[in-house]
Amino acid sequence: MNMAANSALHGQPVELPTTGRPVFVRTRNLEIRLAESPAEIEAAQRLRYGVFYEELRAVPSIETARQKRDADQFDVYCDHLLVVDLEKSGAKPFICGTYRLLRRKSAMANQGFYSADEYDLTALISQPGELVELGRSCVHQDYRSGAVMQLLWRGIADYLSHYRISLMFGCGSLPGTDAEALMPALSYLHHFHLAPRDLRPRAVADRYVAIDRIPLIRLDQKAARDMLPPLIKGYMRLGGFIGDGAVIDHQFNTTDVCIIVPTDHITEKYHRHYKPCGTR
């Protein structure tokens, strides 16, 4: 855990009454909760645009560039987890972090899961109980000391507990579209974190990139781990797995793997960690 994040989150947080909401926590100047209006979803979309398109050089459509919003057809039936800086919020909330959450019930009643464009999710959908797809995670460039990301994880833990979610998944991204250059990291994930067969999504046939190209005996494990983005490392530390194969996403300039994380350890860890701060 980032020590600065740990200190900030233990700085006399105050939990307010939740009135049945799945996520609602305040700590100093930050508040985490779900978006409550189209305007707040739009603010999250603008943050996503700033990070994905302006910073990370994703390729926008003409309409996306005109509106300066990262938006798609899934947004309308997802939950949007927000971290709001109360000190900077005026008539509009100042969103400094966001995650998009899509539960099975909403996905099945609408257009399915976002990840289905890259992976065959049959193995996951066949699992009993509730599951949730995570995506569109980003933090404003002025808030990357760690506190906002830790607060997002606290919000996710509360969300998982509230809806009794047993499994979460989503596409995790490595920067760049040169799979060969990324092969040490991809092969490391394949050798050490491949999902059990009954949980294992497979990249769709026309986009499948094999990721077992470097034999374990030839793999520099430390160098390979160092190539992994912090978010993927975090998922693996929480007991995460990956699916079979990678997918190149040319629009977002990334190479994606499907990540699957059983949630028991997450809810236990975060509820135990925040119990002194008044965790309900």
Domain ranges of the chain: 1-101+146-163, 113-129+166-280
Q: Say which residue the tokens 């193995």 belong to.
A: 123
d(CA 222, CA 185): 10
pTM, two decimal places: 0.86
Longest dimension (CA), the chain: 58
The pLDDT tens digits for 77-104 are 999 999 999 998 777 889 999 999 999 9
CA dihedral 76, 131, 176, 191 (to 10 degrees): -170
The pLDDT tens digits for 28-46 are 889 999 999 999 999 999 9
Using DSSP's 3-state secondary structure scheme, residue 160 falls into helix
